[in-house]
Structure 1
Amino acid sequence: MSDIQIEIRQKLYPAVGQAASHAAIQDFKLTLHAGEFVCLVGPSGCGKTTLLNIVAALDQDYDGEIRVARQQAQPKIGYIFQNPRLLPWRTVRQNIELVLQGRDAGETVDFLLETMQLTRFQHVYPERLSLGMSRRVAIIRAFAIDPELLLMDEPFVSLDPPTARQVRELLLELWRKRPHTVLFVTHDLREAIALADRLIFLSPSPMSIVGDIRVPIPRDLRRDENEIEAFRRQLLDGAPHIKQLL
């Protein structure tokens, strides 16, 4: 794995009914270190999903570049959207194997299904899955391609707290077994603290970085909600400008 450098000098949207364009992102620079789990936290509508779409090369109308350190190539991307986007006419296993494009990766799929506790559901169709299970399938599908960078756009949104906690812990278990560089979007600061090596706080549009903070809590203590809440309070008490963004 190599560091990934993101530089977006400007991302413009046409202003409806006006001559001037609207700057969605301005002077954004971020380096993701190899194997690092980074959470983006910012107000609704600040441009977090726009940023992920640019990094994933789904939006190429911007001034800037995304590159792997010491290379000019676009990194290989895995993308987990808010909606699991499973094909309803394919089983769980078939949905995963689809992204492998015919490659024989049976052992890899077996390992991923077992880690995410879905082995016994591998031949089930998506309509029989709960939302939490569907999200787990989407996570497996993204890990299966062994990406250089894994993008996650609020993948646990709309899950009830116990289910979100379960899927989050399974994600971390999988990430520890198969380390990838992760860029994770969330509106939930507690969730970000539980997951991240670093927290990147974002301003309202035009989006820029207003805080880059490392999470000091050892990973073996991240299940302790008191540890998470203590750091959250310390963070917000010491950075009033960040508190105003949440």
Structure 2
Amino acid sequence: MVDIHVTINNKTFATVKAPTIADFKLSLNSGEFVCLVGASGCGKTTLLNIIADLDHDYDGDILVDKQHKIPKIGYIFQNPRLLPWRTVRENIELVLEDQHAASTIDALLETMQLTQHQHVYADRLSLGMSRRVSIIRAFAINPDILLMDEPFVSLDPPTARQVRALLLQLWQHRPHTVLFVTHDLREAIILADKLIFLSATPMQIISEISVPIPRHERHNEQAVETFRQQLLNDHPKISQLL
């Protein structure tokens, strides 16, 4: 695990005169689970793409443990992006160079409760199961940082709760630095060590708030709701981002 420091002085798309991101600085501590919360279109996905080295057209720096280098990325998109003609296990094996990684795959499948479905073709999976496979695929490469772009969007609430709980279980067994985008403040509170609230364009950080609820109490809906209400009362601008 590594510390990652992001500086974006300016990110402007050619079709838009005003910058999408400006004077932006973000630090992620090793093993930290950070949730980004901001209005649609503010630049969250653009930020993830810059960190993932998918977008080079910006003025800024990405430092990994104080060095200029590209971090090893596990990227979980809103769309699971599985190959439908391959099985669950084959989709995971595609990202692994080590042909002797069977034990790693076995452990990840067990944690995410997919062992019995490992030979099912991806186009036969439910959306919730597909999301679990995409999470396994990202963890399997042992990345420096996991980028997660609203991975539970469009799931029904019970399925989202199940996959969220499985993600946390996997993360606690295999700690990684995580940057997670969500519009759901309850979800952010359940998952995060730290919440980062973002302004509209040009995107900047409005506030950084640590979540004080112990992890073993995050399943307590009343504790989560109490803290959520406290945030909204203490920081009225937050409600405009949700």
Question: What is the DSSP-based 3-state SS (H/G/I as helix, E as strand, rest coil) of the residue aligned with 1:46?
Answer: coil
Preserved contact between residue 150 and residue 183 of structure 1 (Cα < 8 Å): yes
Preserved contact between residue 148 and residue 180 of structure 1 (Cα < 8 Å): yes
Instruction: Report the CA distance between 1:66 and its aligned residue.
Output: 1.1
Aligned positions of 1:15-26 closer than 5 A = 15=15, 21-26=17-22
1-structure distance, mates of 2:134, 2:58: 28
1:188 to 184, 187, 208: 184
Task: Determine the structure 2 residue equivalent to 1:12.
Answer: 12
2:201 to 194, 199, 205: 205
The amino acid across from 1:158 in the alignment is: S
1:142-199 per-position Cα deviation (integer Å, ceiling 9, x unaligned): 0000000000000000000000000000000000000000000000000000000000
Kindly tell me the number of residue pairs found equivalent between the two proteins.
242
Preserved contact between residue 7 and residue 66 of structure 1 (Cα < 8 Å): yes
**Alignment partner of 1:48 is 2:44:** yes
Aligned positions of 1:42-81 closer than 5 A = 42-81=38-77
2-structure distance, mates of 1:40, 1:224: 22
Higher mean C-alpha displacement, 112-121 vs 1-10: 1-10
Instruction: Report the CA distance between 1:127 and its aligned residue.
Output: 1.6
**Alignment partner of 1:88 is 2:84:** yes
2-structure distance, mates of 1:229, 1:30: 27
1:162 to 142, 149, 158: 158
The amino acid across from 2:10 in the alignment is: Q
Preserved contact between residue 85 and residue 123 of structure 2 (Cα < 8 Å): no
Gaps of 5+ in 2: none
1-structure distance, mates of 2:188, 2:76: 16
Identity, % of aligned positions: 70
1:108-138 per-position Cα deviation (integer Å, ceiling 9, x unaligned): 0000000000000000001211000000000
Task: Determine the structure 1 residue equivalent to 2:24.
Answer: 28
2-structure distance, mates of 1:182, 1:103: 26
2-structure distance, mates of 1:137, 1:175: 14
1:59-84 per-position Cα deviation (integer Å, ceiling 9, x unaligned): 11000111212322111100000000
The amino acid across from 2:144 in the alignment is: E
Instruction: Report the CA distance between 1:15 and its aligned residue.
Output: 3.3
1-structure distance, mates of 2:240, 2:124: 42
Aligned positions of 1:95-114 closer than 5 A = 95-114=91-110
Instruction: Report the CA distance between 1:102 and its aligned residue.
Output: 4.7
The amino acid across from 1:193 in the alignment is: I
Gaps of 5+ in 1: none
1-structure distance, mates of 2:193, 2:176: 13
Preserved contact between residue 4 and residue 67 of structure 1 (Cα < 8 Å): yes
1-structure distance, mates of 2:41, 2:66: 33
Q: TM-score scaled by structure 2? A: 0.98
Question: What is the DSSP-based 3-state SS (H/G/I as helix, E as strand, rest coil) of the residue aligned with 1:185?
Answer: strand
Question: What is the DSSP-based 3-state SS (H/G/I as helix, E as strand, rest coil) of the residue aligned with 1:61?
Answer: coil
Preserved contact between residue 186 and residue 225 of structure 2 (Cα < 8 Å): yes
Q: TM-score scaled by structure 1? A: 0.96
